[in-house]
Amino acid sequence: MTDPYADRAGLNVAAELASFVEDRALPGTGIAADAFWRGLAALYARFAPENAVLLRHRDALQAQIDAWHRARTGQPHDHAGYQAFLRKIGYLVAEPAPFTIAPGAVDDEVARVAGPQLVVPILNARFLLNAANARWGSLYDALYGTDALPGTPAGPGYDPARGAQVIGWARDFLDDALPLAHGSWRDWAGDAPALADPTQLAGRAGDNWLLRHHGLHIELVIDRAHPIGRNDPAGLSDVILESALTTICDLEDSVAAVDAADKVAAYANWLGLMRGDLAETFTKNGAALTRRLAADRAYVAPDGTPFTLPGRALLFVRNVGHLMTTPALLLPDRSEAPEGILDAALTSLIALHDLGGARANSRAGAIYIVKPKMHGRDEAAFTDRLFDAVEDLLGLARHTIKVGVMDEERRTSANLAACIHAVRDRVVFINTGFLDRTGDEIHTSMQAGAMVRKAQMKDAAWIAAYEDRNVQIGLACGFAGRAQIGKGMWAAPDRMRDMLEQKIAHPRAGATTAWVPSPTAATLHATHYHRVSVAARQAARAIEPVAPLDALLTIPLAAGHNWSAQEVADELDNNAQGILGYVVRWIDQGIGCSKVPDIHDVGLMEDRATLRIASQHLANWLHHGVATAAQVDAAFTRMAARVDEQNAADPIYRPLTSDSLAMQAARSLVFKGLAQPNGYTEPVLHEYRRNGKLVGDP
């Protein structure tokens, strides 16, 4: 049988990956293939052993924490003793002396302007293009076609009553963000806007007016021939908002990339973005359409000077964490290579096409990599050294590669300042990830006792401390004006009215960005950054003391719980339905993120983070006797029928049966949940997805 791997400097590289690198990624970079492979082999020789040591250290810490809790079974939780123990074993490290981050040249979208952020699966080219092009969005469309406003449009065509609703809301928004010197935007007739603050007039594009507020732009589209504009006193046919300033192209939680073919497809899409030539042709209403990256937007300033604004979101790429390995590349001993090292080298190599070209992405000449699922200071320092070595391999100046640190693991949030200090010269982003952070909270304290019900987690003491500390520590480390402080995802893409009411809390918290599930949501969320001055909120919050570590380390135990049989059954059903609804698409169709109906048929954006919570929560209740194995299996059986019903309209859906790969994977996530490293779902999902690909996708 022919070996599907090619020898490259002692590494065993999947033939399709080797061809992609040599035929597509390297040409135009000035780096010879032999030099690249030798450099990559040196990276693995240096960093793969240390990667393994870090993972063993995670396991060792978890074993000690498990033993500490087991030794105190039945005793009241000793909070002071617990913290002293965590310091003794090195789980908690010393705080660094005060410092200020210095990431160097950073684009304004990251350092100085606050606005929405999208996260998009890198394997879906159409979604990628939509997200990259979501830098600008129609406020009229976002309001008209969603539940942001009460009611719904009447009839299949344009509903003038709904349109009037939209126009009224938009004019009131303009009154709030960019008040006129006299009167209201509701009465504006289309002359040059006489703004209360004349500096907010940024320029023109033909008849359109460009305004600027809090660093964000608003374009007033004047078109008296348009069906809306011709009935408007000002000829205003639309209000275009600068929306998704940044987009994270995701190689991690939102994709199912389990082999060389998947990795090459992901890297190829990233290459298309960095070269600026990514395109996707599809059929809509019987016609073939091709979607491409948007061009920059041209304007003329009030003094007559021409200028352009970016037409696309600034792109980050999220690599995988330290845990996973990939069969796309085998080490000399034929073991799978750490995937994060490959991601660091390949995504940076591909980004050279942007740095050496027209700077279609980063005008500051930076490469932006988000690094997820790091546990503590030493793992952040490892990433910093790895990025140093990748820069040396590619001939890049030190700290060209910027890093985003996802504050989503308990050991990282408990040592956040130390983690930031470890990457202080390249860090441009921190964010809270409630979902993964909750999964890690459950797994870390698995032996302490039964956890509260999943819905109660949001009210737990550690959550408030976690969200506050992230902003407070970021500001103390000098993030204001230098880097992003982010908040997590709004998971319900069909509930925009609720999002408008609730997600304003993120800029009010002093966060410069927050995740949204769609370009439409980005446009609506952008209004929050006009209503709130994030710079002012950061200045106010910078004087706050950091929330105490005691609250962050409060374990969300259900002390003295006395749930009824119905409450237990409801919780089991809720978790089982969420697990099955997500896993069946992951295993059978390779879909890593999609809108999955919950048990109440509310569509929620689901990825591996939500799966981690549900599977660990069931594993916790099973371990502590809140539920029996038979009860959990019964819930899976009930919810399999429910998920089948919810997917009945999908022509390629495979029903869940007791012996289907998706059902087996779901059960493994729960019944083997205690044994999964830090409660991660990836090892189980990858195993069953690879088996599924052997069988063949539907």
Residues with catalytic roles: 318, 607
From residue 105, give the alpha-carbon distance in Å to each of 362, 427, 528.
Answer: 10, 11, 27
Q: What are phi and psi of 321, to 5 degrees?
A: -80, -170
376 close to 93: Cβ distance less than 8 angstroms: yes
5 close to 15: Cβ distance less than 8 angstroms: yes
Please state, in angstroms and rounded to a whole number, the distance separating the CA atoms of residues 118 and 130: 10
Residue 425's contacts (CB-CB under 8 Å, 6 or more residues apart) are 101, 102, 103, 104, 398, 399
**Could you tell me the two tokens for 130?**
């939509």
Please state, in angstroms and rounded to a whole number, the distance separating the CA atoms of residues 281 and 290: 4
**Could you tell me the two tokens for 338?**
């750490």
Instruction: Return the closest-CA partner of residue 600 out of 646, 652, 641.
Output: 646
**Could you tell me the two tokens for 548?**
């105490």
372 close to 318: Cβ distance less than 8 angstroms: yes
Instruction: Return the closest-CA partner of residue 18 out of 387, 342, 369, 393.
Output: 342
Please state, in angstroms and rounded to a whole number, the distance separating the CA atoms of residues 78 and 295: 59
Q: Say how far residue 534 (Cα) sits from the centre of its chain.
A: 21
Please state, in angstroms and rounded to a whole number, the distance separating the CA atoms of residues 399 and 483: 14
Where helices occur in 196-320 by DSSP H, the ranges are: 260-275
**Could you tell me the two tokens for 31?**
């780096």
The owner of tokens 């192209």 is 249
User: Strand, helix or coil at 164?
Assistant: helix
**Could you tell me the two tokens for 528?**
């929050």
The DSSP annotation for 60-121 comes to HHHHHHHHHHHTTTTSPP-HHHHHHHHHHTTSS-PPPPP------S--HHHHT----EEEEE
The owner of tokens 């352009």 is 308
Where helices occur in 423-480 by DSSP H, the ranges are: 434-444, 461-476
Please state, in angstroms and rounded to a whole number, the distance separating the CA atoms of residues 613 and 120: 21
Please state, in angstroms and rounded to a whole number, the distance separating the CA atoms of residues 48 and 7: 18
